[in-house]
Structure formats: C-alpha cells, structure tokens
Amino acid sequence: MLVGYIYWYRYLTFKKFFIFILNSHPSGGSFVRPKKVNFGVDFLTAIRRRYGLKDEETEDMMIGTKTVELVGFDSVHEEQSQLNRLRDISLRECAVSHTGSKDNIYHSCPNITTLNLSKNLLSSWDSLAVITSQLERLENLDLSENRLLLSSNPSSLSGAFLNLRVLSLNRTGLTWSECLMCSPLWPALEELHLASNEFTHLERPVDYFLTLEVLDISNNTLADGSQLHALAYLPRLKQLIVSSNRISLITLPDVQFGETSAMFSSLNSLSIDGNNLSLSTINELSKLKMLHSLNCQNNPLIDSNKTPETVRQLVIAKIRNLKLLNRTEILQQERKGAELDYRKMFGNDWIKAGGNQNPELSNPSKYFCTEHPTYNYLIEKYGVPDDGELKQEQPFALKNQLLTLTFRCPFEQDKKPIEKKLPDTMTIQKVKGLLYRLLKVPGSDLKLSYESSKMEGKEIELENDLKSLQFYSVENGDCVLIEI
C-alpha cells in the first residue's frame, strides 16, 4: 500500500531516486523512494491472494528422450471451478490498481454479483469500467475510500454498470455536483451511499436518479435544511439517511400544516439522527403521507427537562402514520396512550387559542394549529377533552394536596382494602413501588385503575407510569383498583 492513506495518486520520476506522490490535499504531496511504493496488483491476482487460490502448477513428462513441461490440468480446472462459484467478493485494501489481461475476468469469474473494492489503488472510472464490463451480473459495488478521476464521457461507460443496483462511494471526496456528472454511468441504480464526503450543498438531479430508492448522505456538512428540497421530487425515493449533519430545520413549504405535501411523495423512512433539529421539524414531517419510519435521536427536539419517554410520546402524537420510531415498533396501545396524553396535555392551550367544546364555536388560532398540526385530528378521533381532563396541575403544597385513597383488589377477596394518604403529584410508578412494599408484588406485575367518586360506574386506567395522580384527575376519596 502507498505510504499512509494516500487516495489520489500520480507518479513522477525525479532523478531516478524518488517518486512524487500527490495525496488528497490540493497542494500536498510526498517524495518516496521507489522501493517503498506499492504499485498495486491486477484484479485476478488480488482474488487469488485473498481467497487462497494457487497459481497454475506444472509437472514434467518424458517423451522419448526429451522432458516436456505440462501445465497441471487438474489444478487449473479446480481453480476455474472455484472462481466460477465466487459471487460475493471482498477485495478491500488489496492494492488493486489495474485490470490485467483483457477478458480474463469475464472467463474466470463471471458470476460475481457483489464486489467490495473499497480502499484500493484504482485511479479512474475508465479503468474501473474495464473490470466491471466483464462482470455482467454485478449488482452491488463498494468503491469507498478510492479517488476516481471523472470520465470525460460518462454515458459511454454506462454499459459497464448496466445491472448495478447498489453503489457505495463513502469517503471518496466526491462532491454532489460530480456525483450528478457521473450519474449516467448507473442507469438502473436503486441504492446510493455517499457518506463522509463533506457535502455542503445539493443540486436538483433533473432527469437523473429516476430509479433511486435509497440515498445515504450521512456524516456530511449540510447545515441548511432547505438543501434537501433538491431531493424532494425523486419519484421513487423511499429511504433518506441524513444523519450526522448540521441541519437545524427541515421544511416542506408547498402546503400548510394539516395538509399533505407533494414533496418526498414516496418517502417512508427518514433518518435524521445527530443534527440540531427542534420540534418544529417534527411538525413539518407530519405533512409526509408515506412516512412510516423515523430515526431522530441525538437532536435537541425540546427542552432538556422533558424525559425521553415524553419526547417519544410527542413525536408519535404529531406524526399520525408512524409505525417505527428510533428503530422501535409503535404498538397500537402505545399510540393510543400517546395521543390521549397529548390531547390532554395541550387541552388548555387549545381552549385559550380559541378551541371550544362546541364544534360550531371552535376556531383555534393559526399559531396553535402550526404548533400542534394533528390536534384537530385527535379531537375528531377521541372527542373534545372534558373538564376533568383539562384540570390544571397546581404547584405542590403538601397540606392541601394529600389525597385519601382506598386501594382495593377486586379479584383477590382475601386481601383487605388499604387506605393511604398520598400527594397528588406522586407518579403512578411510585404508587406501584408503595404497593410493592405493602403487597410484596413487583410493580411491573400490577395494573392500576381507579373509580371516581364523582363518576359512578366509570373505571379509568392509570396506564402511564410517568404521569402523576393529579394528571389522571384522581381526587380525595377515590378508590384505586389493583389487578395482580
């Protein structure tokens, strides 16, 4: 391998004692003694070395008084058989620099479908095309950590990549503009990985990437979320990975909140981990009709005093079609709980903004609808929150906020009711901890609900361990039911 991590290289004789090597920096280079430079090997030699295939064996045979050297036909046949069976090849960091004899690859290993050529010594797309043109079944190609000179006529090389579906060009120094220039090379491409190339801007790929379904531009330096608008009308784009950039806001300006955007019309999976995004972006993403999977960890979505569980509930309630959040499935019960909590949490804000329990008088402000784009949908789904649900949590004062509650196990007749005084700010989780000490039953095995003294016959589940008794409008004299 060349000295250090040398990506883009050129050789120049200097008084026969040194070779000048141009590295990745525009004005950088190194003088190296020729003996220390690895000029690379051809493609088939790299395969034989990596997969332990031997060179052709020879043997001697006497014909009359002369000795004739014969090629070991058995070993040649065995090697050819092994090469024919190869389909998934990894030649990462094998110093591949050129093709070798013409057509040897086509006759030796024609069945390769997946090829990893990352971190090698390939110098241009033209030289690479000589290899890939002989691999007619090639579908998946990894060229990460190579610096390839652009072809002067990319369209002329498209026949070398006719069946290519997946292409990785991570850490290649390729700009987005150069990528668009190369796009005619890959007429059937479905998945493209361009991570760690220091992109700062994007251009709209007019008439390019029409078959692209997956695009990874993670770990670049995009700071302006409006740059993503350049990708918004790729007709088949289903998965977009923009993690570990510097984006602070993503917008879909073609429609108002509560409407469905025509942008990213096929997108069902979005990864935006590790950016600087706020909850405003989640409001915008609610405009995407097809979005089913979202990864948004390591973003300052809301202020730090909110728990991860609360953040998860907010995101679920704001994006109605979401099925997966941060790689975890959203079960039907979790969605229902998140939507009911969200409806209750912002009920008073809705009233103050012009919402009304009488649908004919309800007219929430534009600002409220912008901040809570799915709230009207939740009102239609679950109805208007009643007065008990809209009760404000009051500042804690122990003397007037202790509740006298009766705890009863309706299915355990041998257990007597227990009466306790508890603060209404006590969480359900802590209530379960108390019951564990009293009943010797793990809190995880307990299911709690309560009967209100004001609503006879109505049983309300205490389903969220992180919420307080006050949140569920539990009042003095109520009975908490314990199911073990």
pLDDT above 80: residue 2:
no
Enumerate long-range contacts of 435-443, CB under 8 Å, 24 or more apart. 435/407, 435/482, 438/407, 439/415, 439/482, 439/484, 441/484
pLDDT above 80: residue 221:
yes
Query: Do 476 and 422 fall into the same domain?
Result: yes
pLDDT tens profile 18-31:
444 445 555 555 55
Query: Do 221 and 325 fall into the same domain?
Result: yes
Query: Do 279 and 361 fall into the same domain?
Result: no
Q: Residue 482 forms beta bridges with which residues?
A: 448
The closest alpha carbon to 36, from 72, 79, 3, belongs to 3
CATH of the domain at 469: 3.10.20.90
Q: Does some domain include residue 144? A: no
User: Which residues contact residue 452 at a Cβ distance below 8 angstroms, ignoring those fewer than 6 apart?
Assistant: 388, 458, 460, 473, 474, 475, 478
In contact, 161 and 186? CB cutoff 8 Å:
yes
Query: Do 209 and 301 fall into the same domain?
Result: yes
Q: What confidence category does residue 162 fall into, taking pLDDT thresholds of 50, 70 and 90?
A: very high
Q: What confidence category does residue 144 fall into, taking pLDDT thresholds of 50, 70 and 90?
A: very high
Enumerate long-range contacts of 74-80, CB under 8 Å, 24 or more apart. 79/48, 79/53, 79/54, 80/108
Which range of 12-21, 141-150, 300-309 scores highest in mean pLDDT? It is 141-150
Which position has the token pair 């989640």? 282
Q: What is the DSSP letter of 245?
A: S
CATH of the domain at 217: 3.80.10.10
pLDDT tens profile 81-137:
678 889 999 999 999 998 887 778 988 898 999 999 999 999 999 999 999 999 999
Query: Do 204 and 313 fall into the same domain?
Result: yes
Q: Does some domain include residue 112? A: no
Q: Does some domain include residue 249? A: yes
Q: Does some domain include residue 44? A: no
Q: What is the DSSP letter of 468?
A: B
What is the arithmetic mean of pLDDT over 144-159?
A: 93
Q: Does some domain include residue 264? A: yes
pTM above 0.75, yes or no: no
Q: What is the mean pLDDT of the chain?
A: 84
Take residue 307 and report the two structure tokens written for it: 């728990």
The boundaries of the domain holding residue 304 are 198-330
Q: What is the pLDDT of residue 202?
A: 96
Q: Does some domain include residue 303? A: yes
Query: Do 279 and 216 fall into the same domain?
Result: yes
Query: Do 317 and 236 fall into the same domain?
Result: yes
Query: Do 317 and 372 fall into the same domain?
Result: no
Q: What confidence category does residue 388 fall into, taking pLDDT thresholds of 50, 70 and 90?
A: low
Q: Does some domain include residue 366? A: yes
Residue 480 or residue 397, greater confidence: 480
Report the domain count for the chain: 4
What is the arithmetic mean of pLDDT over 351-376?
A: 91
Last residue of a domain, one of 321, 355, 382: 382
pLDDT above 80: residue 69:
no
Query: Do 255 and 367 fall into the same domain?
Result: no
Query: Do 373 and 472 fall into the same domain?
Result: no
Q: Does some domain include residue 374? A: yes
Query: Do 231 and 313 fall into the same domain?
Result: yes
pLDDT tens profile 166-217:
999 999 999 999 999 999 999 999 999 999 999 999 999 989 999 999 999 9
What gap in Å lies between CA 182 and CA 410, rounded to an integer?
71
In contact, 208 and 180? CB cutoff 8 Å:
yes
Query: Do 241 and 260 fall into the same domain?
Result: yes
Dihedral of CA atoms 132, 137, 140, 145 in degrees, nearest 10, equals -20
